[in-house]
């Protein structure tokens, strides 16, 4: 049973995770700003449950069955700047707990998250897989975001050199094109990736939110290791075409936002409102009109959590891993407790019958609202220019 303050915060989770960080804006009248917290109705994970023992293959690249997304380690959704030494501590504790797969991007910061990750993994760099992404048009000297996309080969070469310095490494294990640049033939991009692999600066490459034909064209030049798209219980779009394509071509799949930007942890409720600058406030699936309906999904996840002795976050991640053996979620967090909780999903197992039953119940829940603002959605599913 929840015991809430007048801001809607669970007292136990408040004390457990120290939620009221400097700069968090709470809205009045029984509304809350969503900040990181262990999912409602969760139980404390013991030490052995926080170890990631599983290993999976993305193409030919072996990684831990769960990764760690570090996107918010320079700036949270709720706009606070996290304490940098603690971000290093989370990265290193994740490694101690079996995580070998770390995901960053040039655009996160911009540049700053790559620096944080490079600093964090420095003691064990050769024992982990570092991923980063490029593709937005970012000034390489100032880090300023410029309009549009930029995957011109000469620009990408400059970006990669900057990444290597920020990540404190001599190679990027997996480099994604963050979004497809419609002005650049994908054959040119894939050819550059092949050249960078021959030079030893990149070991594997992937695509994020690409068009289907773009994937086929890139794969024909050089095998694609992984596709990174949004995928979770709240957004199952990839199931229709991109996941079957990955299965056909032998490409791994990495779901970003596997916990639905915190929704699937059970922390967001019908009274949740978002602070200025929090992108979730611009996603119509989290609007006051749609939240009450969409929370039926959270109720489903909580019910299964009770049945299986797991938290809502663990159920959500375990469900993803149960879909295909080459799916590797990368939940992000800036809280140690959440990272350890997420790791516990590795020990949650669904039988084939349970997956069928879960999916039958899931089919009864219709999610209302868009997953991203239209200004961001327009960059997904794009096909690259034809090769002349």
The answer to whether 102 is a known catalytic residue is: no
Asked whether 294 and 369 are in contact (CB, 8 A), the reply is yes
Pairing of strands 129-134, 136-138: unpaired
338 — phi, psi (to 5°)? -70, -40
Tell me how far apart the alpha carbons of residues 304 and 316 are, in angstroms, rounded to a whole number: 10
Question: By C-alpha distance, which of 243, 209, 253, 176 is closest to 377?
Answer: 209
E strands in the chain? 55-58, 61-64, 68-69, 101-103, 129-134, 136-138, 145-149, 174-177, 205-208, 226-230, 252-256
Rounded alpha-carbon distances, angstroms, from residue 103 to 19, 336, 347: 24, 17, 22
Cβ neighbours of 361 (radius 10 Å):
13
Residues contacting 96, CB < 8 A, separation 6+: none
Question: Which among 255, 190, 200 is positioned nearest to 224, based on CA atoms?
Answer: 190
Strands 129-134 and 101-103: parallel
As beta bridge partners, residue 230 has: 256
Catalytic-labelled residue, pool 108, 176, 205, 231: 108
195 and 246 in contact (C-beta within 8 Å)?
no
Which residues form the catalytic set?
108
């Amino acid at each position: 049973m929840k015991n809430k303050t007048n801001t809607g915060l669970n007292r136990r989770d408040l004390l457990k995770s120290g939620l009221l960080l400097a700069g968090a804006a709470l809205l009045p009248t029984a509304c809350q700003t969503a900040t990181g917290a262990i999912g409602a109705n969760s139980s404390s994970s013991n030490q052995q449950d926080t170890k990631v023992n599983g290993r999976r293959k993305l193409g030919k690249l072996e990684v831990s069955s769960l990764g760690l997304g570090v996107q918010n380690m320079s700036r949270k959704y709720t706009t606070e700047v996290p304490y940098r030494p603690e971000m290093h501590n989370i990265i290193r504790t994740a490694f101690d707990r079996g995580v070998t797969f770390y995901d960053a991007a040039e655009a996160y910061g911009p540049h700053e998250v790559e620096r944080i990750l490079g600093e964090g993994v420095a003691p064990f760099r050769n024992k982990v897989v570092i991923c980063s992404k490029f593709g937005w048009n970012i000034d390489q000297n100032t880090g300023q975001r410029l309009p549009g996309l930029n995957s011109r080969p000469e620009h990408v070469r400059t970006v990669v050199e900057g990444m290597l310095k920020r990540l404190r490494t001599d190679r990027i294990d997996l480099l994604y094109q963050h979004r497809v640049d419609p002005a650049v033939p994908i054959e040119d991009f894939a050819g550059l990736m092949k050249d960078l692999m021959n030079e030893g600066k990149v070991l594997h490459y992937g695509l994020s939110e690409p068009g289907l034909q773009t994937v086929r064209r890139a794969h024909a030049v050089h095998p694609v290791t992984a596709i990174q798209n949004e995928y979770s219980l709240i957004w199952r779009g990839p199931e229709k075409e991109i996941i079957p394509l990955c299965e056909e071509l032998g490409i791994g799949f990495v779901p970003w936002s596997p916990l639905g930007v915190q929704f699937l942890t059970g922390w967001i409720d019908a009274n949740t409102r978002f602070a200025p600058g929090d992108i979730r406030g611009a996603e119509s699936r989290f609007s006051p009109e749609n939240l009450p309906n969409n929370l039926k999904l959270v109720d489903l996840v909580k019910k299964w959590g009770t049945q299986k002795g797991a938290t809502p976050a663990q159920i959500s991640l375990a469900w993803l891993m149960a879909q295909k053996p080459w799916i590797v979620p990368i939940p992000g967090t800036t809280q140690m407790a959440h990272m350890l909780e997420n790791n516990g999903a590795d020990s949650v197992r669904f039988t084939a019958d349970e997956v069928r039953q879960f999916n039958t119940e899931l089919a009864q829940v219709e999610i209302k609202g868009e997953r991203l603002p239209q200004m961001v959605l327009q960059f997904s599913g794009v096909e690259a220019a034809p090769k002349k």
